[in-house]
Amino acid sequence: MPAEGADHGGFFLTLEGVDGAGKSTLARALAERLRAAGLEAVLTREPGGSPGAEDIRRLLVEGDPDRWSAGTELLLFTAARADHVEKLIRPALARGAVVICDRYVDSTRAYQSVGRGAALADVDALHDRMIRLDPDLTLILDLDPEVAETRQTGAAKGEDRFERFGADFQARLREAFLAIADADRDRCAVLDANAPVEALAEAALAAFNAKHSEMAAS
Ligand code: TYD
């Protein structure tokens, strides 16, 4: 079965980018604006977002970088996503909410495939067979990994497994996210993460409004 588009009644927005790009801050600022406009905004994140997926998150973000092979990691991220989509995302979309998800399948494409070497065909096949839900809009926060490194907070929480793969890994991730945006311009917009959060939130809201109107008209 092909991945579903926007046949669920809500709006599914994902935020992507390298570690430390500022996705979580933007997610909160955008959710506030949507709520002020009278919409139900559900803020969530990956890996995690449902109790079962949060349990799997700990296996993924803590511990040694070489704890899992790329393939095992891909299966764990997909398992966490399956639970999150089933328990939280689909029910929220079905009642018409805007779901803002901090990371989703493009992170798996960038980190597990380009970063860690899992086959992209395996990422896409698992997504198409097990998840079957694509974002309506993806905002990619673009930032020089050297700047992003100064903003990383994972170590303080013991959640720095991916940050410890190093600077070259983060540089490849940045290129991977830009390539994803380039290949799917209808779904993705790139935002310059150097901008102040207020300006980013306005740009994100404008992108949401444009896509929302486009979907309503079709
Ligand atoms: P996150 O909590 O978003 O970290 P950050 O706040 O640093 O951006 O995600 C934790 C880590 O998990 C992050 O380094 C990216 C990684 N990740 C993957 O490798 N694959 C995935 O599919 C997802 C969702 C995250």
Distance (angstroms) between ligand 1 centre and the Cα of 107 equals 7
Q: What is the pLDDT of residue 148?
A: 85
Query: Using one digit for the tens of pLDDT, what is the confidence trace for 104-153?
Result: 999 999 999 999 999 999 999 999 999 999 999 999 999 998 888 887 77
Q: Which two tokens stand for residue 118?
A: 């899992």
Q: What is the pLDDT of residue 30?
A: 98
Q: Which of 14, 19, 24, 142 to mutate to test the pocket of ligand 1 (most atoms within 8 A of CB)?
A: 19
Q: What is the pLDDT of residue 167?
A: 87
Q: Which residue has the tokens 């704890």?
A: 67
Q: Residues with beta carbon inside 6 Å of ligand 1?
A: 19, 23, 46-47, 61, 77, 102-103, 107-108, 111-112, 154, 162
Per DSSP, helices labelled H in the chain are 23-36, 51-61, 70-84, 90-94, 105-107, 120-126, 145-151, 167-183, 197-217
Query: Reduced to 3 states, what is the DSSP secondary structure of residue 110?
Result: helix
Q: At what angle do helices 23-36 and 197-217 cross, to 10 degrees?
A: 60
Closest CA relative to residue 17, chosen from 180, 157, 153: 180
Domain regions of the chain by residue span: 11-217
Provide the pLDDT confidence category of residue 7 given band limits of 50, 70 and 90. Answer: low
Closest CA relative to residue 105, chosen from 79, 132, 127: 127
Span 25-53, average pLDDT: 97
Q: Which fold has domain 11-217?
A: Rossmann fold (3.40.50)
Q: Which residues, in sequence order, are CB contacts of 15 under 8 Å at separation 6+? A: 23, 26, 27, 100, 101, 102, 103, 138, 139, 141
Q: Which two tokens stand for residue 119?
A: 């086959």
Q: Which of 58, 107, 109 to mutate to test the pocket of ligand 1 (most atoms within 8 A of CB)?
A: 107
